[in-house]
Structure 1
Amino acid sequence: MNVKHKYTLVNGLNIFYREAGSRDNPTILLLHGFPSSSHMYRNLIVRLADRYHVIAPDYPGFGNSDQPSMTDFNYTFNGITDLINTFVVQLNLVKYSIYVHDYGAPVGYRLAVMHPERIQAIISQNGNAYEVGLEAAWAPIQAFWKNPDDVTIRQGVIDLLSIEVTKHQYVSGTRDPEAISPDNWKNDQIHLDREGNHEIQLALYYDYQNNLKQYPTWHEYFRKHQPPVLVAWGRNDIFFGVKGALAYTNDIQDVEVHLLNTGHFPLEEDLEVSVNLILNFLDTRLAAQRNL
């Protein structure tokens, strides 16, 4: 199945996205995490496209999408969500499932709250929605929330954007680090090292605290609308821990939780497991919805 690499103009910005599969099939919207882009889904898209229509955009400032200046775009999770919502409307995606990873969770769950009628199912792969899921690795960013003007704290957060830390996000917690291609972190780092990108990432780090304030709203959405949810979580993630995966069972009745023995990017080491879980989950849940 061929993957198409496309651009579309959204609110004056060139937004890059990958697309595969027939539009006659149910749609899956893949929302990427940090520090990656739709590149993280390059292998998954091919495996899903025989049965599903798959769309994976890059956010502004990430991947192959435009990187407008801080004055020309609202680099907050609200700002990204508003743009992705317009993207969804322009592509005429009326109903879809969302796959959320890392930053994709605050984008996807905002979309779900805005338009619950669109959401058919949710796949969370290390996409956090509960405070208990935040691990100790968040400490530098949490300190930044409290003291954004402290020079030492700010530099500590900037240091998180180095190639060493980017690599660490891919290999930490994996069973076989040598099986993880360096193309991943080198590709991400090219974009992180673009002029002006550090300030964008700092703005999103700072804004992440507002996601925590949204957690009760997301939990209420879960309880009220009860979307079927698949949680396929890399249990050795240094940022989002197992407690965050298990917490979905507090609010969702139809939820599967699978803890995979890998790190922050499960698709790199457990692609086959993830594909099987996703296909089995969506095939059964969407078939049940069609029969209602």
Structure 2
Amino acid sequence: MTTLENRPASPSRALDSEPAVPLESVAPAVAYRTAKINGLDIFYREAGPKDAPVILLPHGFPTSSHMFRNLIPALADEFRLIAPDYPGFGNSSMPTVDQFDYTFANLTDVIEQFTETLGLTKYSLYAQDYGGPVSFRLAVRHPERVQALIVQNGNAYDEGIDNDFWKPIKAYWKQRNAESEKYIRGIFAREGTIFQYVNGVRNVEAISPDNWNMDQPLLDRPGNAEIQLALFHSYGSNPPQYGEWQAYFRKYQPPTLILWGKNDVIFPAAGAEPYKRDLKNLEFHLLDTGHFALEEDGGKMAGLMRNFLRKNVAP
């Protein structure tokens, strides 16, 4: 006869007897903070030692700092990672187009002031999608602060926007009206948002629907469509800056890691190749994935970033 005292422990009792494992021992804790910048609440994610080399992570469209949710803890044992949300995106303030002029120059102003508020005097920049022009504008303003560039489907050359995807956008730059807006509105409608995540990936089942289910309700907020239309129009101010950005590359030669989703139809691999013309300390990787390469190849990319920054950025 088996008594209660000598009966084998049930699975639940056995688990209860195991000591709890602090989550911090599995992955470094991420802090969720807000900085006041010119009256705006700028939300940001941060993790890593305060005295570690800084990686500044401006996000792409149509997302937010959420795009870095997995990269941050993957590198925070060795680096300090900081990912802000732009005005009108994520958890930051969303002033209307009448209250804030949504241009890439002004987004860069906000991020510049954000870095100064946090006392960031040296950092590496992650340049992807909208984070490309924000990062490159910031680098031109403060070349002495930039320790390295990580370029992931972030464009700085005419070759990168010379395809069918960009033709209607270029028409919108030339003439903004109800007709030219139709294509743009489709990009930030639900199907367009999903497309940006799944185009060019190896395995659609590897891409979490949490991405578009988080982005789309924010895009659908009253007044946000006008913000996105303004920024798409302002993107036309970036190609005239390409020459200045390329001159910065040639003059300052920032160590640069290219991690490019080669199947991206938005920023195709043709935009990655020209960096080889201007940068000497360049590590170049074309990845078999799409626009948001972190979604499918985040682990590989984190390893490449770690090794590259160890070699090129002094602790």
Secondary structure in 1 matching 2:238: helix
Unaligned runs of 5+ in 2: 1-27
Task: Trace 1:190-229 onto structure 2 (pairs within 5 A).
Answer: 190-229=217-256
Deviation per CA, 1:141-181: give whole Å up to 9, x if none. 111112212x2221222121111010011011000001101
Task: Trace 1:256-275 onto structure 2 (pairs within 5 A).
Answer: 256-275=283-302
Q: Which residue of 2 aligns with 1:64?
A: 91
Normalising to structure 2: TM-score of the pair?
Answer: 0.90
Secondary structure in 2 matching 1:19: strand
Distance in 2, matches of 1:265 and 1:154, equals 24
Deviation for aligned residue 1:26: 0.5
Distance in 1, matches of 2:51 and 2:176, equals 48
Q: Does 1:140 align with 2:168?
A: yes
Count, aligned residues:
287
Secondary structure in 2 matching 1:56: strand
RMSD in angstroms over aligned alpha carbons?
0.9
**Larger-Rg structure:** 2
Deviation for aligned residue 1:103: 0.2
Q: Which residue of 1 aligns with 2:269?
A: 242
Secondary structure in 2 matching 1:129: coil
Distance in 1, matches of 2:208 and 2:267, equals 22
Deviation for aligned residue 1:69: 1.2
Q: 1:181 aligns with which of 208, 212, 233?
A: 208
Contact map agreement 1:74 1:80 (CA 8 A) in 2 = no
Contact map agreement 1:170 1:180 (CA 8 A) in 2 = yes
Contact map agreement 1:223 1:252 (CA 8 A) in 2 = yes
Q: Which residue of 2 aligns with 1:42?
A: 69
Secondary structure in 2 matching 1:120: strand
Amino acid at match of 2:218: H
Q: Which residue of 1 aligns with 2:39?
A: 12
Task: Trace 1:100-111 onto structure 2 (pairs within 5 A).
Answer: 100-111=127-138
Deviation for aligned residue 1:93: 0.2
**Identical-pair percentage:** 53
Deviation for aligned residue 1:140: 1.9
Normalising to structure 1: TM-score of the pair?
Answer: 0.97
Q: Show structure 1 runs of 4+ deviating over 2 A.
A: none
Distance in 1, matches of 2:179 and 2:107, equals 28
Deviation per CA, 1:93-149: give whole Å up to 9, x if none. 010100111000100111100000000000011111111011321122111112212
Distance in 1, matches of 2:263 and 2:65, equals 22
Deviation per CA, 1:177-199: give whole Å up to 9, x if none. 01101000111111110111111
Q: Which residue of 1 aligns with 2:5?
A: none
Q: Which residue of 2 aligns with 1:254?
A: 281
Unaligned runs of 5+ in 1: none
Deviation per CA, 1:207-239: give whole Å up to 9, x if none. 111100000000000000000000000001111
Amino acid at match of 1:15: I
Distance in 2, matches of 1:106 and 1:271, equals 22
Secondary structure in 1 matching 2:99: coil
Q: Does 1:28 align with 2:50?
A: no
Amino acid at match of 2:179: T
Deviation for aligned residue 1:286: 1.2
Secondary structure in 1 matching 2:69: helix
